[in-house]
Amino acid sequence: MSPGSQGASLSFLQDRKVLIVGVASKRSIAWGIAQAMHRQGAQLAFTYQNEKLRPRVEGMAAECGSDFVLPLDVASDDEIERCFAAIGDRWDGLDTAVHSVGFAPREQLAGGFTDSVTRDGFAIAHDISAYSFAAMAKAARPLMQGRDGSLLTLSYLGAIRAIPNYNVMGPAKASLEAIVRFLAADLGPEGIRVNAISAGPIKTLAAAGISGFRSMLTHVAALSPLRRNVTIDQVGNAAAFLCSDLAAGITGETLYVDAGYRNVGMSLD
């Protein structure tokens, strides 16, 4: 392979062992991340939330040359333990874990914040969308000893701005971004980096049925500096970078992959 060509030596995740949590469809952000990491030479393991999703995730794993597919509902400590034990059995360790999971009961995501928020809705949103990242870090930690590991999660602008209908997911994402900083401080001495990507709105299953989602896409395309929305490939490439040695100096960070939308306070035609 001549220098400058697309040789394996230039793939910046060559042979890195990566766990991808959060693939549900070909539109999933996790799928954009998996494909980008596969292009950079990573070896991938995938999880599926429930048996209904299993065949689909197995087929998509195969497209990335992987037959390593495990069940994982992040609400269960037992399943988290079993999942990481299975990784330790098959691999000599783990370089990267990607957490691309978010959930609140549907009725939390409509109407005003004050009326919609409930104790149960708050607890579920924070458990599945924020605590589960800390739980994954606990389980991944022993597998990442001595190998410059990295952890990545997905956030949204609702963590730092009040966005209509995002409601209790906003506080949950704020908690998630704080967890990123605390994990980074705690695991940094072991060489483990921890970051988030705050993605612009993308039409995925998690966006399906959210009232007004289409007008949000139109709004961002009209007002963002790049005058467009972002794609799962763009998020995937940023994720591959953040989890590679190219980002060796970056930890505790939330990187915005949002066509610049976060940075504008006003936008005129």
Tell which positions 136-155 bind ligand NAD, by CB under 6 A.
Answer: 154
CB of 243 to ligand NAD, least distance (A): 16
Tell which positions 201-260 bind ligand NAD, by CB under 6 A.
Answer: 201-202, 204-207
Tell whether the torsion through CA atoms of 201, 203, 205 and 207 is positive or negative.
positive
Nearer to ligand 0WE, 64 or 109 (CB): 109
Q: How far apart are CA 191 and CA 126, in angstroms?
A: 27
Region binding ligand 0WE by CB under 6 A among candidate stretches 34-42, 50-58, 79-87, 200-208: 200-208
How many residues of this chain interact with ligand NAD, rule: CB under 6 A?
26
Cα 128 vs. chain centroid, distance in angstroms?
13
- Do residues 130 and 179 make contact, with C-beta atoms less than 8 angstroms apart? yes
Cα 22 vs. chain centroid, distance in angstroms?
7
Answer yes or no: 256 catalytic. no
**SS3 of the chain: helix, strand, coil, percent, to 5:** 50, 15, 40
Q: Does residue 33 interact with ligand NAD by CB under 6 A? A: no
Nearer to ligand 0WE, 224 or 244 (CB): 224
Q: Which of 237, 252, 26, 63 is nearest to 153 (CA)?
A: 252
Q: Which residue is nearest to ligand NAD (CB)?
A: 102
Q: Which of 136, 75, 70 is nearest to 105 (CA)?
A: 75
CB of 106 to ligand 0WE, least distance (A): 4
Answer yes or no: 166 catalytic. yes
Backbone angles phi, psi at 196, to 5 degrees: -125, 150
CB of 83 to ligand NAD, least distance (A): 10
- Do residues 187 and 241 make contact, with C-beta atoms less than 8 angstroms apart? no
Q: Which residues bind ligand 0WE (CB under 6 A)?
A: 102-104, 106, 109, 156, 163, 165-166, 169, 201, 206-207, 210, 216
Q: Which residues bind ligand NAD (CB under 6 A)?
A: 22-25, 28-30, 49, 72-75, 100-103, 128, 154, 156, 199, 201-202, 204-207
